[in-house]
Amino acid sequence: MMPTQAAGMELAGKVAVITGAGGAIGAATALLFAREGATVVLADIDDVAGPRAAGALAAEGHRCRYVSADVSREEDVATLIAATVHDYGTVDVLFNNAGVAGEHVPTAQLDRSTWDRIIAVNLTGTFLATKHAIGAMLAGRGGAVINNASILGLVGEANHPAYSAAKGGVIQLTRAAAIEYARRNVRVNCICPGFVETPLLLDGQHADAARAAVLKVQTPMHRLGQPAEIAQMALFLASNRSSFLTGAIIPVDGGYVAR
């Protein structure tokens, strides 16, 4: 029989680690997880946005802490997970949310350093956090890994070769790990957001209203997604409501990949 919990406390008693927690989706998810009863460890390389997100939780009286970590560095990730286990006893949930977009250029014009950085953060960072978190989960009571990929890991898109490759890799990493640990009480699932209203999407050359209008038209719902909508899917995947779900690749995209 599945355990039950009080309404509004889907993650009561659980410890959640969120990478990229200073960003729009990470901060929204951290706040939602905390309000649903989780102890939240927020990790980010941005030592302004990360503490600010943690401060929003603390201001509401939630149990949380911030850890400065670059997910592309294994020593940082190992320290993050070890500190979480030391302080709170376990890791129940990992939300691999850290990511960078990089330049929007064709494959033949993409420089190697940009490729390396995007792969290092988006794919290698997801692998490293998954590796160390699963180790902690296996030593504890199991858990849930949630990877944040993208619709660009599912469909082709011009001028995003490194980002698309990295997110496609995250999807396949999700499937492999899900199969490996399916009988060991560790579930691994993947969210593929569509066009979500975040600074990662709407910055620099994409900051104008015309660009946002184009993205809305490309989306069957004719609007951009909101960070809180991605957070709601992460909550479902972290909670006992998804107890028979592993290896799932779930678009949250307003119908984009259904076209």
For residue range 79-138, list pLDDT tens digits in order: 999 999 999 999 999 999 999 998 889 999 999 999 999 999 999 999 999 999 999 999
Asked whether residue 1 is assigned to any structural domain, the reply reads no
Q: Is the pLDDT of residue 237 over 80?
A: yes
> Which stretch, 8-12, 46-50, 207-211, has highest mean pLDDT?
46-50
| Catalytic residue (one of 66, 163, 181, 256) | 163
Q: Which 3 state secondary structure label does DSSP give 132?
A: helix
Torsion sign over Cα 161, 48, 193, 246 = positive
Asked whether residue 4 is assigned to any structural domain, the reply reads no
Asked whether residue 10 is assigned to any structural domain, the reply reads no
- Tell me the pTM: 0.94
Q: Is the pLDDT of residue 25 over 70?
A: yes
Asked whether residue 165 is assigned to any structural domain, the reply reads yes
Average pLDDT over residues 201-219: 74
Q: Is the pLDDT of residue 153 over 70?
A: yes
Distance of CA 45 to the CA centre of its chain: 15
Asked whether residue 68 is assigned to any structural domain, the reply reads yes
Q: What is the overall mean pLDDT for the chain?
A: 94
Asked whether residue 205 is assigned to any structural domain, the reply reads no
- Here the CATH number for the domain that contains residue 160 is 3.40.50.720
Q: Give 2's pLDDT tier (boundaries 50, 70, 90).
A: very low
pLDDT of residue 130: 98
pLDDT of residue 102: 81
Torsion sign over Cα 230, 234, 235, 237 = positive
**Domain count within the chain:** 1
Secondary structure (H, E, C), 164-224: HHHHHHHHHHHHHHHHHHCCCCEEEEEEEECCECCCCCCCHHHCCHHHHHHHHHHCCCCCC
What residue numbers bound the domain in which 48 lies? 15-197+225-251
Close Cβ partners of 55 (under 8 Å, ≥ 6 residues apart): none
Distance of CA 34 to the CA centre of its chain: 16
CA distance 194 to 179: 26
Residue type, 250: I
CA distance 92 to 90: 6
Asked whether residue 138 is assigned to any structural domain, the reply reads yes
| CB half-sphere exposure, 158, CA atoms < 13 A | 1
Q: Which 3 state secondary structure label does DSSP give 45?
A: coil
The phi-psi region of residue 113 (left if phi > 0; otherwise alpha if psi is between -120 and 50; otherwise beta) is: alpha
Two tokens, residue 212: 């946002």
Asked whether residue 203 is assigned to any structural domain, the reply reads no
For residue range 241-254, list pLDDT tens digits in order: 999 999 999 999 99
Is residue 256 annotated as part of the catalytic site, yes or no?
Answer: no
Q: Is the pLDDT of residue 6 over 70?
A: no
Q: Is the pLDDT of residue 76 over 90?
A: yes
